[in-house]
Each structure stands twice: as structure tokens, then as C-alpha cells.
Amino acid sequence: MHDKALLRAYRTMRTIREFEERLHSEFATGDIPGFVHLYAGEEASATGVCAHLDDHRDTIASTHRGHGHCIAKNVDVKAMMAEIYGRTTGSCHGKGGSMHIADLSKGMLGANGIVGGGPPLICGAALAAKLRGEGGVAVAFFGDGGSNQGTTLESLNLATVWNLPAVFIAENNGYAEATAATWSVGGGSIAARAAAFGMPGRTVDGFDFFAVHEAAAEAVERARNGGGPTLIEVQLTRYYGHFEGDQQTYRAGEVQQARNELDCLKRFRDRVTGDGTLTAAQLDQIDAEVARLIDDAVAEAKAAPLPTRADLETDVYIQY
């Protein structure tokens, strides 16, 4: 990868981390309405996949844990923060909140409160891309819990039957709420299910940006060139609870171990500074710029107006 692409990837991962760490502390103040599910720890997945996508041709569908996917697909960070605070300056004018951030201008079809809601959307988006004939690709992110939904399994089948330019990214963080994936995923491997639907499937280390980037490159290229869908199982850990407020009585110790030994940002930094590709100073500068951006995003969100009663009647019906 070129230095520019590496710096961009690091900035994206750092932005997601800072966004989520900051939301963790802000949520505790009680100023944020609704539910928030944090993506911290999983940054290499969204970043490694979306690095291959462009804004106009390519689309993604996300989950309830969607902030990282949105940031990696270039949705404006300040508009996202304002949306989470429920302000009119938000990406959906404050009407969606964390679980419904969408920006069609960036090919981000939406976070989604419905587990398994993304894969069917992606079949539609991939079919549209195929008919347009411009090489567009559609990517569905879903969790280990989402991988057991009928909607996901039907989508995997349809994607093969229609030979769609689709990529399915199963983010296996080990739990669906408090239910362990080792218990709930029949057969034990999400990636192995690909064979049943006649598509390539593989498992990658989700703490390793480069591993995700490489696996996604192959899948996206296959989709762009008419080779059909791929299923990739990305194995990772979420650093916070299922939602903010989760007491996490179902696990102990593993998060600290992941943070200390596996963290994707640390691993990225060690690798690119260790082989002399980038300097620590270049990365430190990005850290400082991102910290300022998130400070500004929070301050601007808090200062922005809330929707009024009159806003209740806008954005209800689409204008053709």
C-alpha cells in the first residue's frame, strides 16, 4: 500500500476509536438520547473493507453498531455526532439517532435496528449496481448474531442465484448481546456456511488491518468483475458492552487482554513504524488532529438546535 493510503487508513481507524471513546464518556452524562452501541475494537474491519469502495458506485448496509461503518464510508463525522445528539444539524436532521444514521450521497444505506436487516438491502443494491453496469459493489456488514437470521441466509442464497456483486462481512465479535457465538453459531464457523451457498468463504483476523484489507480486496475485485459474491468472517472483539450500560456479567478479562495484546491501532502503528514506512510523528499528528475534530464535533452538536414540533411533519414522505 502507498503511504497516502496507509495514512488514510490510520486516520479512519483513529477517528472511529476517538469517536467511540468520546461517546462512551459523553453517554454517561445523560445528554444523549436513545441507545448507543459502540464499535471500538472493531475498527480494522470497517476500515479494511471500505478502503476498496468509492462513494458513488459502491454501497454498504450496516447494523445497530454502525458508527465505524459510517465513518469508514466517509459520512461526515460532525453530522454523525449531531445526529446522535438528536440535533437538526445531524445527518438525518436529528430524527434517526445512532441506529439510523444514513447518507445516500456516500452510498451508506443506513445503520439498522433490525438484526439481519442489512443483507437483503444489499441484494437489492447489488442488483441495481449489476443492472447499471458501472462495476458497483454492495457490501453488507452483520454480526455473529445476524449471521443466524433467516434474512441473512436467504440473502446469501439469492446473491449466488443472481450472481450479484455483493460482499458479506460477518463481524464475529463473539457475542450477540450476552449469547456466546461458540454456542449460537451452528457448525462453529460462519465462513464455512459460504460453501453451502456456492460462494467463496474465508476467516480473517479482525485485529489485523492488513489481513482484512487483503481479503476484502480479493472479494471486491471478484464482485466488480462479475465473479459473484463472497462471505468473509472477521474475528474481533468489542471493547465495550453490547450497549452503553451493559454490565457485561457474561465476560471477564478478555477485553483487557485484547486491548493489551491485539489492538488494531497498536498493531498498525508497530508494523508501519517498525519497517520504516511511516514515522511515529506522522501518526501522532493524525492523533492530535482527530482529537480536535471530535472535540469540535461534540461542542458543535451540543450547541445545535433540537428539532421543533413543525419538523415532525417533514421527511415523512419522499418527494419525487
Ligand X SMILES: Cc1ncc(C[n+]2csc(CCOP(=O)(O)OP(=O)(O)O)c2C)c(N)n1
Residues that bind ligand X (CB under 6 A): 63-65, 113-116, 142-146, 173, 175-177, 242
Position among 62, 112, 173, 235 found at the interface with Mg ion (CB under 5 A): 173
Angle, alpha carbons 219-72-294 (nearest 5°): 165
Nearest approach in angstroms of CB 318 to ligand X is 24
Nearest approach in angstroms of CB 40 to ligand X is 12
C-alpha cell at 290: 482527530
What is the SS3 assignment for 295?
A: helix
Q: Which does 90 bind (CB under 5 to 8 A by kind): Mg ion, ligand X, none?
A: none
Beta strand 175-176 with 179-180 is antiparallel
Q: Which residue is nearest to Mg ion (CB)?
A: 143
143 binds Mg ion (CB under 5 A): yes
Nearest approach in angstroms of CB 144 to Mg ion is 4
In whole angstroms, give the CA distance from residue 256 to residue 180. Answer: 18
144 binds Mg ion (CB under 5 A): yes
In whole angstroms, give the CA distance from residue 190 to residue 270. Answer: 30
Between the CA of residue 181 and those of 30, 233, 284, what are the distances in Å? 31, 12, 36
Question: Which value, to the nearest 10 degrees, does the dihedral of the CA atoms of residues 256, 210, 40, 70 take?
Answer: -170
Nearest approach in angstroms of CB 184 to ligand X is 9
Nearest approach in angstroms of CB 176 to ligand X is 3
Q: Which stretch binds Mg ion (CB under 5 A): 29-37, 42-50, 168-176, 312-320?
A: 168-176
Residue with smaller CB distance to Mg ion, 18 or 144: 144
Can you tell me which residue has the cell 448507543? 36
Nearest approach in angstroms of CB 116 to ligand X is 6
Q: Which does 242 bind (CB under 5 to 8 A by kind): Mg ion, ligand X, none?
A: ligand X
Instruction: Say if CB 222 and CB 231 are below 8 A apart.
Output: no
C-alpha cell at 293: 475534530
Nearest approach in angstroms of CB 27 to ligand X is 16
Residue with smaller CB distance to ligand X, 86 or 116: 116
**Residue 217 Cα to chain centre, angstroms:** 17
**Residue 68 Cα to chain centre, angstroms:** 4
Residue with smaller CB distance to ligand X, 97 or 145: 145
Q: Which residue is nearest to ligand X (CB)?
A: 143
Residue with smaller CB distance to ligand X, 164 or 176: 176
Q: Which stretch binds Mg ion (CB under 5 A): 82-90, 129-137, 150-158, 169-177?
A: 169-177
Residue with smaller CB distance to ligand X, 133 or 150: 150
In whole angstroms, give the CA distance from residue 92 to residue 66. Answer: 14
Can you tell me which residue has the cell 463473539? 174
Residue with smaller CB distance to Mg ion, 180 or 195: 180
Size of the site for Mg ion (CB under 5 A): 4
140 Cβ neighbours under 8 A, 6+ residues apart:
60, 61, 118, 119, 121, 122, 152, 155, 166, 167, 168, 169
